[in-house]
Structure 1
Amino acid sequence: MASLLIFITLLHLTILTVLFIATMEKFWWVWDNNARSDLWHNCRFDNETKDWLCDSSNETEWLHAVQVLMILAVIFSSISFLIFLAQLFTMSKGGLFYFTGVCQAFAGLNDFTAALIYTLHYKEILKGSRDLSSGHFGYCFILAWVCAPLLLCSGIMYIHLRKRE
């Protein structure tokens, strides 16, 4: 039982870390080594100062939806972890981690929806930034897609997990 709890805890913390990185890093769209975009900024590398110069992203309704959903995914996954820890120490023997699982699954649905919206509407989100044909999706976008099934699977795992002594 102890090894299962350690595995679940490490899995949850890993997913939470990857989700946070996907939300905050500057690699949702990459044009080349000198320009990239995320949910918050459009950045370009200045060769003279050897520094990144960032401007706020064009605010569109689609971008706001992705931002809100990714933040909600991080919040629900964090709440899920805290609830798991609380239930682990307070729940009686034989209890199920339903609330933890529901929060984690809801985080997965938020992440999935955000990644799907960005996939379908990246042209509207990035319009006016640069020529989109010379760019591609960055690793944070891929991390968001990887987190969605992991969050949903861990949510289902929590729902079926029973506390034992």
Structure 2
Amino acid sequence: MVFLLMSVTVLHLITLAMLLIATMEKSWWIWGDSEISDLWYNCFHDNATNTWLCAATNENDWLQSVQALMVLSVVFSSISFLAFVGQLFAMPTGGLFYFTGLCQTFAGFTVFAASLIFTFHRKEILGDSRDLSTGRFGYCFILAWLCVPLLFVSGVLYIHLRKKQ
């Protein structure tokens, strides 16, 4: 039982860290080696100073929905972890972690929706007149997709997890 409890906790913390990285880092779309776009900024690499110069992205409805869904996923996963810790100490023996599992599953649905929106509407989100075939998805986008099954698995595990002594 202790091993299962520790495994679920580690899985939850790993997915929460992955969600934070996917939401805040600068690599959702990569245009070659010198330009990166994310949910918040478009960055260009300046070779003269060897620094990244970033400007805010052009806001549109699709981008705002992806931003909101990713932030919601972080919030729901954080609430889920806090509820789990609270339930772990306050819930009577034999109780199930329904609230924790539902919050974690809802976080999975929000990441899934955000990733789908970015996948199908990247032309409108990126707003560039350039050909999208010159760019590729970045590691934050891939992390977001990896979070989806991990969040669903941990949500199901929480729903079936019963508190023992």
The TM-score normalised by the length of structure 1 is: 0.98
Q: Tell me the distance in 1 between the aligned counterparts of 2:102 and 2:45.
A: 42
Q: Tell me the distance in 2 between the aligned counterparts of 1:58 and 1:149.
A: 30
Partner of 1:105: 105
Deviation string, structure 1 residues 85-107 (Cα, Å, up to 9, x no partner) = 00000100100000000000000
Structure 1 runs, 4 residues or longer, greater than 6 Å off: none
Q: Shift of the alpha carbon at 1:130?
A: 4.2
Q: Shift of the alpha carbon at 1:131?
A: 3.6
Q: Which runs of 5+ in 1 are unaligned?
A: none
Q: Shift of the alpha carbon at 1:128?
A: 2.3
Partner of 1:59: 59
Which shifted more, 122-131 or 58-67? Answer: 122-131
Q: Tell me the distance in 2 between the aligned counterparts of 1:47 and 1:65.
A: 34
Q: Tell me the distance in 2 between the aligned counterparts of 1:132 and 1:36.
A: 13
**Are the counterparts in 2 of residues 43 and 55 from structure 1 also a CA contact under 8 Å?**
yes
Q: Shift of the alpha carbon at 1:129?
A: 6.6
Which residue type is aligned with residue 146 of structure 2?
V
**Are the counterparts in 2 of residues 45 and 51 from structure 1 also a CA contact under 8 Å?**
yes
Which shifted more, 127-136 or 139-148? Answer: 127-136
**Are the counterparts in 2 of residues 23 and 140 from structure 1 also a CA contact under 8 Å?**
yes
Q: Shift of the alpha carbon at 1:149?
A: 1.1
Q: Which runs of 5+ in 2 are unaligned?
A: none
Q: Tell me the distance in 1 between the aligned counterparts of 2:12 and 2:140.
A: 18
How many residue pairs were aligned? Answer: 165
Q: Tell me the distance in 2 between the aligned counterparts of 1:6 and 1:158.
A: 12
Which shifted more, 126-135 or 140-149? Answer: 126-135
Q: Tell me the distance in 1 between the aligned counterparts of 2:22 and 2:110.
A: 13
1:14-163 → structure 2 map (5 Å cutoff): 14-128=14-128, 130-163=130-163
Q: Shift of the alpha carbon at 1:4?
A: 1.1
**Are the counterparts in 2 of residues 96 and 160 from structure 1 also a CA contact under 8 Å?**
yes
Partner of 1:13: 13
